[in-house]
Amino acid sequence: MDIVIRPPDAALETMPEVVRTMHTASGLLDELAAGTTLADAEAQVLAYVREHVKEPGKAPLCGNSVGTDRGFLARDMSALETYLHYRIVDVSSVKELARRWYPRAYFNSPEKSGNHRALADIRESIAELRYYREAIFVPQPGPDSETARTIAAKHVLPAQ
């Protein structure tokens, strides 16, 4: 699914030059004239989400630094936002942990194209999370129950 939303003309007129250059290079500016409305985009995405997630509040929002995206969705696409789970899978949090705990994994993570298009960003975030899963997490099937309980017991805080 690749949807282009046509912004108001006023937003285009006030676009900073660095943003204009970025979106010209990605081809986005050329596609805006044929773009759809915010309401139509929400309806299309919501129909797609409903194909895969039958009840509201269950779909996780995933990606890089998606906390800001969640705010935009709550403000501008409230029907879609109700389908999202309250928890967020933020790949940038995993990336920050890798940078601190496993710097070799962090500094050898997959290159990104950086074209700043939503679909490409989504695909790159999925690839990046798969990379970190393989590079820094315990291999499948994970620890057995006894090992998990032993590890958990080491990290229980004393009652206060």
What is the rounded radius of gyration, in angstroms, for the C-alpha atoms of the chain?
A: 20
**Cα–Cα distance between 129 and 122 in angstroms, integer?**
11
Which residues have a catalytic role annotated? 86
Residue 80: predicted pLDDT? 97
pLDDT tens per residue, range 94-126? 999 999 999 999 999 999 887 778 888 999 999
Q: For residue 133, report the phi and psi dihedrals to the nearest 5 degrees.
A: -60, -45
- 90 strand-pairing partners: 63
Six token digits for residue 65 = 């630094």
Confidence category of residue 160, pLDDT binned at 50, 70, 90:
confident
Q: For residue 44, report the phi and psi dihedrals to the nearest 5 degrees.
A: -65, -45
Domain extent listing, the chain: 9-136
**Cα–Cα distance between 57 and 80 in angstroms, integer?**
10
**Cα–Cα distance between 123 and 4 in angstroms, integer?**
17
Number of residues written out for the chain:
160
Residue 147: predicted pLDDT? 95
The answer to whether the pTM exceeds 0.95 is no
**Cα–Cα distance between 71 and 13 in angstroms, integer?**
24
**Cα–Cα distance between 87 and 62 in angstroms, integer?**
9
Q: What does CATH list as the number for 9-136?
A: 3.30.420.10
